[in-house]
Amino acid sequence: MSPALARARRTLLAGCVLLLAPACRDLDRFDTGESGAYCGSIIDGAFTRRGFEQGLELRLTLDIDALQRAPGTLSSNDRETGPCAPQALFEAAPLRITPELFADPLSLLEFGSTRDHNFLAWVESSCQGSALAVVSLMHTGDAEVRLLRSGTPLGPDTPGDFGVFQLRRTDCEF
């Protein structure tokens, strides 16, 4: 390769790196630290709330450094009135990761251009078994959580539960 061609190639590579640098996203800003959290309610709609109580709120903590091991916890505000009373549906329930997922194309899950990062985790409720949590870290600095639970064993026509929660960074406690 001629020196001129090698220089042109290095210049092109450097230009590509500079163009792509703004597309890289720093996820550290989503870390909630020792006492912070993202909190918010379920979206109340036929499509966004099947099997979850109206007005249900979630509290999400995130440890960005442990995103691929133990990314955080989930709590809910329904200790008094929820299906698990006198416990909340989620009580600082750890988000559990399936490590093999990071070697699978599913780990590259992208849906919508308003998200910086998405990840999948399992979370155990106090009385209703496991749910799949799809966590989206939004460009705005907010977070979304989608919870999916399998249907009851009553038959194939029994739909599973689905809830979408919009969460903002606040000082909430449940």
Q: What is the CATH number of the domain that holds 149?
A: 2.40.160
Which pLDDT tens digit goes with each residue over 19-38? 333 334 589 999 999 899 99
Q: How high is the pLDDT of residue 6?
A: 46
Burial class of 174 by CB neighbour count within 10 A (0 to 12, 13 to 18, 19+): middle
Residue 5 lies in a domain: no
**Position 19 in a domain:** no
Nearest to 49 by CA among 115, 145, 113: 145
Domain range enclosing 104: 26-170
At 106 the pLDDT is 86
In-domain check, residue 41: yes
**Structural domains in the chain (count):** 1
| Residue range 143-170: mean pLDDT, rounded | 84
Q: Is residue 14 part of a domain?
A: no
Rounded to two decimals, what is the model's pTM? Answer: 0.81
Report which of residues 46 and 156 the model is more confident about: 46
Greater pLDDT, 141 or 171? 141
The dihedral of CA 51, 55, 56, 57: what is its sign?
Answer: positive
- Structural domain contains residue 152: yes
Residue 13 lies in a domain: no
Q: Is residue 3 in some structural domain?
A: no
Q: What percent of the chain has pLDDT over 70?
A: 81
pLDDT in tens, 84-116: 999 999 999 999 999 888 888 888 888 888 999
Residue 10 domain flag? no
